[in-house]
Amino acid sequence: MKNVILAAVAASFVLSGCTQRTAQIQSTYVSPKEYDNYSCDELAKERSAILAKAKEIGDLQEENADADAAFVAGFLLVSMPLLIGTAFTKDRAAEFAALKGKYEAVDRAQYEKRCDVDDETRRQAFYTKPEKKEPEFAGRKK
């Protein structure tokens, strides 16, 4: 019984330190007033820059979440020393949340200024998690 309680406590400790997935990260509020002095063209450029940075940071965040999950699985299956590996991944949740907030503020500013934004751009997702590719195994050679 003591081992079960110890394992449960250890598992909850490990899981609480994991890097969040991008889908779990809430945006940080940024006022659209920050963009009052921007023209529609400048807002469009800012939107593109934010999307590019979000792709970069989001991909890193997802990689770190995957690495943390692997370390946690290793910890639960093998031993405690693998827990140290989670300290080597950088949680970029705050940076990602700030970008999400800026994106929402730019979108709102474009709406308020009645900028001409095409429907495809309006529907564009802030960040899309990259698809996982299955490893390719070389077939047997005869």
Q: What is the largest CA-CA distance in the chain?
A: 68
Q: If 0-12 CB within 10 Å is exposed, 13-18 middle and 19+ buried, where does residue 106 land?
A: buried
- pLDDT at residue number 12: 47
pLDDT of residue 91: 78
Sites in the chain below the pLDDT cut of 70:
1-17, 69-90, 133-142
Which of 126, 132, 136 is CA-nearest to residue 65?
132
Global pTM? 0.67
pLDDT of residue 1: 62
Contact 50, 103 (CB under 8 A): yes
Residue at 86: amino acid letter: T
What pLDDT sits at residue 53? Answer: 95
Q: What is the pLDDT of residue 19?
A: 78
CB 93 within 8 A of CB 23: no
Tell me what pLDDT residue 9 has: 46
